[in-house]
């Protein structure tokens, strides 16, 4: 088994993502793929923190822009209506969580390292939900797991964490 990291620069357009899907279909069985956020999403999440901190009225637009970007990519990659519907529900749930985090940030009037890490992680969360749905639509058995579901531990240094491999193993 291999762990293969796919960076955000590789997730910039439909053609590049389709190429990754083909690689996964031909060489991916039994491997673990770690995904970055779609190109530009992490920056949007970070910019969203500053906007949400300054004005809670900005939050619906931040969430709407993220929803639009991911829904557009999903429509390009998921031809199966059931798969699109499943992804839509997963995306809505994740965006609802993110929405609460942005309002919490506005309420507390601070961006802590922990909050920055939590909010920044949503780009990767959206990407794995999208990829799993798109791969299943292509007949590839794909599931996703979030770090908290697989027992991944870090040293706890928010903003600059390192995996604790001894505890994770």
Indicate the CATH number of 3-168 among 3.40.1160.10, 3.20.20.60, 3.40.50.300, 3.40.309.10.
3.40.1160.10
> What is the pLDDT, as a whole number, of residue 155?
67
> What is the pLDDT, as a whole number, of residue 57?
98
Query: What CA–CA distance (Å, rounded) separates 28 from 37?
Result: 20
CA 32, 87, 22, 1: dihedral to nearest 10 degrees?
A: 10
> What is the pLDDT, as a whole number, of residue 11?
85
Beta carbons within 8 Å of 34's beta carbon, 6+ residues apart: 3, 4, 5, 6
* All structural domains of the chain with their residue ranges: 3-168
> What is the pLDDT, as a whole number, of residue 129?
92
Helix 41-54 to helix 59-77 angle (10° resolution) is 160
Partners of 163 in the β-ladder: 154
> What is the pLDDT, as a whole number, of residue 109?
96
- pLDDT (tens digit per residue) in 120-137: 999 999 999 999 999 988
Q: Which residue numbers in the chain have pLDDT < 50?
A: none
Q: 137: exposed, middle or buried (C-beta count within 10 Å: 0-12, 13-18, 19+)?
A: buried
């Amino acid at each position: 088994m291999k762990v293969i990291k796919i960076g955000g620069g590789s997730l910039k357009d439909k053609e590049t993502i389709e190429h990754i899907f083909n690689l996964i279909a031909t060489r991916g069985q039994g491997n673990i793929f770690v995904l970055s956020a779609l190109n530009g999403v992490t920056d949007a999440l970070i910019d969203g923190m500053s906007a949400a901190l300054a004005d809670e009225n900005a939050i619906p637009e931040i969430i709407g822009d993220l929803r639009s970007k991911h829904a557009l990519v999903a429509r390009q990659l998921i031809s199966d209506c059931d798969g699109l519907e499943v992804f839509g529900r997963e995306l809505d749930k994740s965006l609802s969580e993110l929405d609460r985090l942005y309002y919490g940030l506005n309420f507390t009037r601070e961006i802590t390292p922990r909050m920055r890490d939590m909010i920044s992680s949503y780009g990767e969360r959206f990407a794995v939900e999208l990829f799993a749905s798109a791969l299943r639509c292509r007949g590839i058995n794909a599931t996703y797991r979030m770090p908290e579901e697989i027992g991944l531990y870090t040293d706890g240094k928010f903003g600059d964490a390192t995996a604790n491999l001894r505890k994770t193993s």
